[in-house]
Amino acid sequence: MSEFKVAPANASAGVKLLTWVDNRFPATKLWKDHASEYYAPKNFNFWYFFGILATLVLVIQIVTGIFLVMHYKPDATLAFASVEYIMRDVPWGWLVRYMHSTGASAFFIVVYMHMFRGFLYGSYRKPRELVWIFGCAIFLCLMGEAFMGYLLPWGQMSYWGAQVIVNLFSAIPFVGPDLSLMIRGDYVVSDATLNRFFSFHVIAIPLILLGLVVAHIIALHEVGSNNPDGVEIKARKDANGIPLDGIPFHPYYTVHDLMGVVGFLILFSAVVFFAPEMGGYFLEANNFIPADSLKTPPHIAPVWYFTPFYSMLRATTDDMLVWFRIIVAVAAILALWKGRFGGLGKLLIAVGAVLVLIGIGTLKITGITALSGCDAKFWGVLVMGGSVLILFFMPWLDKSPVKSIRYRPGWHKAVYGVFVVTFMILGYLGIEPPDPLKTAISQIGTLIYFGFFLLMPWWSQMGTFKPVPDRVTFHAH
């Protein structure tokens, strides 16, 4: 046990209190380790606002959620009316509800931007693989939290959206029907489903989410923050062990981040007060109609932040699976040929590719149907899930000799640009009713999306790379 610190006799009451706390809890040590003596690269730019903004939105969601739960009734016969009661009769209830609904969309906006910054500057590369994995797990939890929370207003789109998504689990071979029944708690979306989703949305997933956020920050501060140059600042330190290109997070970046926070809150407030529905993208018109199990809406679509993945689900038809086989085969060959994998890695790639190629379901080739396992619905679910899970493998898919986009070949920027545009197009198509043309575009977009990742071990090494500086490049504002 370490010796107790003793405050000077003439110390102020505040210093004495802090000393008393420090002897029992490492408050000052935590502050120094994670703020005043945590050295971050001095060349952070605009893209580094989104980490703190994600934390801010998480706090907004938790606080507004607490106030909503005070008045919400998790009962199929009362849920919709309780939301209307919050909106109309609870003092400032409309503001709390709109802050929560807008916050859900804002959360995904800042998280998507935060993840894209990681793409640009290689923040998933060694030694930050675990930081990235924790971040992807946060994203996965966030999707579950948003999906389950979307059912709680018990409107038409909430009800039928949950019905469609939960039914997708029934496509999983052998366990699918029982799994979807367990998730719903009934044979259709009902009061049992509402209670399950409420408990997960309010208690279970937030606890997991908070734990992952803490793990994400601890892992980040253990290895240090990345920067736009992709240069490790810990490699060069002065005689006192302080990075030459680092500055204390507090006060420099706490003040710096305040600018981003103020700018975000201005935009957030503008949406909350003047356009909380955002033209039907944040709050759909059908969700202002009570859920009716006997009346199906003409077009069922998830909220905008799920639509890119939903679009990939709808794009996975029998014909699409033929092309998917081709891209998997090409990716496996290039990964084995060009990828820097060990013997075990190559074996896993080869076995995985063979299983995918054999397992893909009903294929229609020149009018001949070859049955080889599962149907397109199952593979659609697998594609939708795989489009998220593949993000976890980014640290090992990117074989570029440099981290940052600044020092990669110019055409790499075009590749990232095509990826972003494709993702946005898929998001738009997921909102729209399907037709043959939109389905074909979605299929092309799905192939581009997976091609970006599966071919990354090959294309990320191509081209002429610029020399990376020994120290970070910094220009004072």
What's the longest Cα–Cα distance across the chain? 92
- State mean pLDDT over 207-216: 96
Which has the closest alpha carbon to 450: 321, 271, 288?
321
Residue written as tokens 């010796």? 3
pLDDT of residue 337: 67
**pLDDT for position 7:** 80
Question: In this predicted structure, what is the pLDDT of residue 380?
Answer: 86
The beta strand positions in 238-298, using DSSP E, are 246-248
Q: Give the whole-number percent of the chain exceeding pLDDT 90.
A: 65
Residues 311 and 435 in one domain: yes
Give me 336's structure tokens.
């084995």
Query: Element (H or E) spanning 16, and its range?
Result: helix 13-22
With beta carbons less than 8 A apart as the criterion, state whether 444 and 319 touch: no
For the stretch 389-430, pLDDT in tens is 999 999 999 999 999 999 999 999 999 999 999 999 999 999
Other C-beta atoms closer than 10 Å to the C-beta of 340 total: 10
Evaluate if residue 373 carries a pLDDT over 50: no
- What's the number of domains the chain is made of? 2
In a domain, 8, yes or no: no
When the pLDDT of each residue in the chain is averaged and rounded to a whole number, the result is: 89
Residue 165 has pLDDT above 80, yes or no: yes
Annotated binding-site positions for heme b: 100, 114, 201, 216
Kindly tell me if the per-residue pLDDT of 362 is higher than 60.
no
pLDDT reading at 125 higher than 80: yes
Picking from 218, 252, 281, the residue at the C-terminal end of a domain is: 281
My answer on whether 264 and 303 are in the same domain is no
How high is the pLDDT of residue 416? 97
272: in domain: yes
**Residues 303 and 238 both lie in one domain:** no
Please tell me the predicted confidence (pLDDT) of residue 341: 62
12 domain residue, yes or no:
no
Residue 24 has a CB neighbour count (10 Å cut-off) of 8
Quickly tell me which residue has 């005070």 as its tokens: 70
Specify whether the CB–CB gap between 297 and 160 falls below 8 A. yes
Instruction: Convert 306-334 into a string of H (helix), E (strand) and C (coil).
Output: HHHHHHHHHHCCHHHHHHHHHHHHHHHHH
pLDDT of residue 58: 97
415 lies in some domain? yes
Evaluate whether residue 11 is within a structural domain.
no
- Domain membership of residue 132 (yes or no) is yes
- Same domain? For 323 and 259 the reply is no
Q: Return the pLDDT at 372.
A: 41
Residues 266 and 316 in one domain: no
Q: Which of 241-255, 348-362, 412-426 has the highest mean pLDDT?
A: 412-426
259 and 116 in one domain?
A: yes
Does the structure show a pLDDT above 70 at 79?
yes
Is residue 216 very low, low, confident or very high in pLDDT (cuts 50, 70, 90)? very high
**Number of Cβ within a 10 Å radius of residue 56:** 20
Q: Which residues contact 202 (CB under 8 A, 6 or more apart)?
A: 65, 69
- Give yes or no: residues 257 and 304 share one domain: no
Tens-digit pLDDT profile for residues 281-298: 899 888 999 999 888 888
Task: Tell me: do 177 and 222 sit in the same domain.
Answer: yes
Lowest model confidence (mean pLDDT) among 269-273, 295-299, 383-387: 295-299
CA distances from 286 to 146, 155, 162, 296, 352 (A): 18, 7, 14, 11, 42
Tokens of 48: 């580094």
Give the model's pLDDT for residue 330: 74
pTM above 0.75, yes or no: yes
Q: Are 265 and 363 found together in one domain?
A: no
341 and 205 part of one domain = no
Pair (427, 379) in one structural domain:
yes
Q: Residue 475: which pLDDT band, with cuts at 50, 70 and 90?
A: confident
pLDDT higher than threshold 50 for residue 369 = no
CATH number of the domain to which 312 belongs: 1.20.810.10
The residue from 281, 309, 341 where one domain ends is: 281
pLDDT at residue number 240: 85
Looking at the predicted structure, is the pLDDT value of residue 223 above 90? Answer: yes
**Looking at the domain assignment, is residue 291 inside a domain?**
no
* Residue 346 domain boundaries: 299-460
Q: Can you tell me the distance from the alpha carbon of 195 to that of 149, in angstroms, rounded to the nearest whole number?
A: 11
253: tokens are: 């970046």
Return the higher-pLDDT residue of 317 and 218: 218
pLDDT at position 361? 45
> In this predicted structure, what is the pLDDT of residue 172?
82
Residues 51 and 164 in one domain: yes
Model pLDDT, residue 371 = 38
Residues annotated as binding site?
100, 114, 201, 216, 221
Confidence of residue 241 (pLDDT cuts 50, 70, 90): confident
Q: Is 288 within the bounds of a domain?
A: no
> Binding site membership for a ubiquinone: which residues?
221
In eight-state DSSP terms, residue 36 is I
Among the residue ranges 198-202, 357-361, 457-461, the one predicted with the least confidence is 357-361
Q: Which residue would you say has higher pLDDT here, 158 or 300?
A: 158
pLDDT in tens, 297-342: 888 888 999 999 999 998 888 777 777 777 777 777 776 666 566 6
The domain boundary, picked from 281, 316, 346, lies at 281
